Amino acid sequence: MASITVPIPTNSNEPILDNGQGVIDPDVYFQINESPADLPEFESKLNTFVDFHKSKGSNVVFITSGGTTVPLENQTVRFIDNFSNGTRGATSAEYFLEAGYAVVFMHRQNSIQPYNRHFTHSQMGFLDYLEPMENGSVQVLSKYAAKMHELLTKYNEAKKSNRILMLDFVTLPEYLFKLQSGSKILARLERKAMYYLAAAVSDFFIPSQKMAEHKIQSRDGGLTLTLDQVPKFLKPLVSNWAAKGLIVSFKLETDSNLLVPKARQALTRYGHQVVIGNMLKTRKQTVTFITQHNQKVLSLSQQQMADGIEIESEIIPELARIHQNWIDSGKTE
């Protein structure tokens, strides 16, 4: 079978600066990739939200949630996706609101959203919760009404008090530009800002200059992809963009022997405050907190799982406690 190699064709002869190991510098990434068209609107909404909460003295958490896509063509028909449906981020947002935080929820478009998640991502369709009335109106079936009333009240309260800001991304470049810009805007809150990086970010991409402009044709048979490595953005985030905030990154593994060493390695390499390790298969039941001097496992029993208790109900109070120490003393414990 014939195969073609992507990137095809190269639109630029400019060399792409790298760190000598084939990975471009994060700053260079922003020079060679186009910023998203809605970045000014994103910044304007976030600036207004941050000003409001700075004047109120609120603690604000910047949650990233869902997976990034990596386009294969500039006029994109095909893309590679990253695993994550956004449950961790959306569930956490609810518990952060309960803990008194203002929440910036930067999520993959159409991924799971706080409060709505209880009805949108179940076995049932939206219309299955409703019944038509003879007078032409529609009402929620009585068995779901109490739960929907409770969640709708919380959701409306969060919106009315301006404590939740919904922002979205789809592609890797959109995510990275918005992460950079968003964390610099939140930096005005200094230690009162927490960055909760639950999104699953692609490690590989095709720079736009190397990407095919039009839909890759199948007439030549199979397709061989060559992807560049995405620079690690935790480094500039920790050392420049959000230097005073509390930064919480996640480490996802499938081999349990690697989880703690890799999580600790990330903490040492980037010098931030918390890494939360989770295993793909048990991520809803068990997480491991890694801080500079401590390691702590939070876990739910089978009975708690059966009762519908969510691990985020343990993660968020623990983080709120660590964040308060950070605000008070610049230390996590």
Positions in the binding site for ligand PMT (CB under 6 A): 84-88, 197-201, 203, 230, 232-234, 249-252, 278, 283
CB closer to ligand PMT, 106 vs 199: 199
Pick 41 or 203: Cβ nearer ligand PMT: 203
CB of 24 to ligand PMT, least distance (A): 11
- Give me the least distance between CB of 1 and ligand PMT, in Å please: 32
Nearer residue to ligand PMT within complex by CB, 74 or 229: 229
Q: How far is the CB of 310 from ligand PMT (least distance, A)?
A: 11
Distance CA(164)–CA(186), nearest Å, equals 14
3 state SS of 312: helix
- Residue closer to ligand PMT, measured from CB, 60 or 172: 172
Q: Report how far residue 190's alpha carbon sits from residue 45's, in angstroms, rounded to the nearest whole number.
A: 19
Max Cα-Cα span within the chain: 71
Which tokens in the block code for residue 128?
A: 């299955």
CB of 253 to ligand PMT, least distance (A): 8
Which lies closer to ligand PMT via its Cβ, residue 165 or residue 234? 234
Q: Cβ of residue 312: shortest distance to ligand PMT, in angstroms?
A: 10
Burial string for 222-237 (b: 16+ CB within 10 Å, else e) reads: eeeeebbebbebbebb
* Complex with ligand PMT: residue 171 or 278, whichever CB lies closer: 278
Strand, helix or coil for residue 292: coil
Nearer to ligand PMT (CB atom), residue 181 or residue 278: 278
User: Do the Cβ atoms of 327 and 316 come closer than 8 Å?
Assistant: no
Amino acid identity, position 158: A
Smallest separation (angstroms) from ligand PMT to the CB of 330: 22
> Percent helix, strand, coil in the chain (nearest 5)?
40, 25, 35
Minimum CB distance to ligand PMT, residue 71 (Å) = 16
Query: Between the CA of residue 304 and those of 150, 278, 309, what are the distances in Å?
Result: 21, 18, 5
Q: How far is the CB of 304 from ligand PMT (least distance, A)?
A: 18
Q: Are 58 and 234 in contact (CB under 8 A)?
A: no
Phi-psi region of 24 (alpha: psi -120 to 50; beta: other; left: phi over 0): beta
Nearest of 302, 183, 318, 161 to residue 247 by alpha carbon: 183
Question: Cβ closer to ligand PMT: 154 or 283?
Answer: 283
Residues 64 and 175 sit within 8 Å (Cβ to Cβ): yes
User: Strand 60-65's sheet: what is its strand order?
Assistant: 164-169, 102-108, 60-65, 193-197, 246-253, 274-279, 286-290, 295-299
Question: Shortest approach of ligand PMT to residue 328 CB, angstroms?
Answer: 25
Q: Please give the Cα distance from 115 to 154 (Å, whole number).
A: 8
Toward ligand PMT, which CB reaches closer, 129 or 250? 250
